[in-house]
Amino acid sequence: MTVPSPVITIDGPTASGKGTVAHRVAKHLGFHYLDSGALYRLTALMATLHGIALEDETAIASMARTLPCRFVHGHVFLEDADVTDAVRAEEVGVAASRIAVLPAVRQALVDLQVAFRYTPGLVADGRDMGTVIFPDASLKVFLTASAEARASRRYKQLIEKGISANMENLVKDLMERDARDSARSTAPLKPAPDAIILDTSELTAEEAVNKVLVWYAQTQANNTI
C-alpha cells in the first residue's frame, strides 16, 4: 500500500499571515507549496478578463476545471502571462471571495488542489485545506489574528507597492470577508476539529514558522513511536 505524501495545512482568514508562514515552512522542509487562495483569485481574474459575470456559477465552474495556471519560483502565471501582482489586487480579492461561496466553483477546484500532493510533501494554505481538501493531513494549523492586526499588515503591503490604502476601509473589508467566508454553506471558514489554533497578532512571521516546524517535528516523532 502506497503511503501518501505528508501534508501540512495552514488555514485562516485573509491577512492572517498564512501565506508567508506556509511558504517559509515549505521552503525549510523542501516541500511543495500550494496557495489555494491564488486559485480562487486566478479564477476570478480570468472570469473578469473574459467578461463572465461573477454570479454565473456554471460558466465559472466550467472555466475553473481547466484553469491554465502555473506557480514558478514565487511567480503566478495565467495563460503564460505573469499575473503575480494582478492576483493580489484588492478588487481581485473581493471578487475571489464572491465566487468562493459558489458550490460548483469550489468543487471544480478540488481536484486541481489535490493534484498538488506529491513527494516529498506539501504545505497548503487556504481556508478549507484541513477541513475539506486534505482531511488526513499530518498537521493542521489554523492561523488567526485580530482584524486590526491583519488590516495593519495589508496596509503596509499595499503602501510598499505604491498603492493607496485606508485603514478604516481595510478593517471593514476584512470583517465583511470573514463574515461571508464563515457563513457560506459550502466549506465555511473554520478550524478543523484537530487543528492547532495559532494567534499571530503579536507574533513575527519567523516566530510563527518556528512554532509550526516544532509541531510538525512532534507529529513525525509520534508517528515513529
Annotated binding site for ATP: 12-20
- Residues forming the annotated binding site? 12-20
DSSP string, 76-137: EEETTEE-TTGGGSHHHHHHHHHHTT-HHHHHHHHHHHHTT--TT-EEEEESSIIIII-TT-
Contact present, 57 and 47 (Cβ < 8 Å):
no
Cα-based distances in Å from 44 to 17, 51, 131, 160, 167: 22, 10, 23, 24, 25
- CA dist 156 and 123 (Å) reads 25
Residue 203 identity: L
Give the number of other Cβ atoms within 10 Å of residue 105's Cβ.
27
Contact present, 147 and 175 (Cβ < 8 Å):
yes
- CA dist 113 and 96 (Å) reads 16
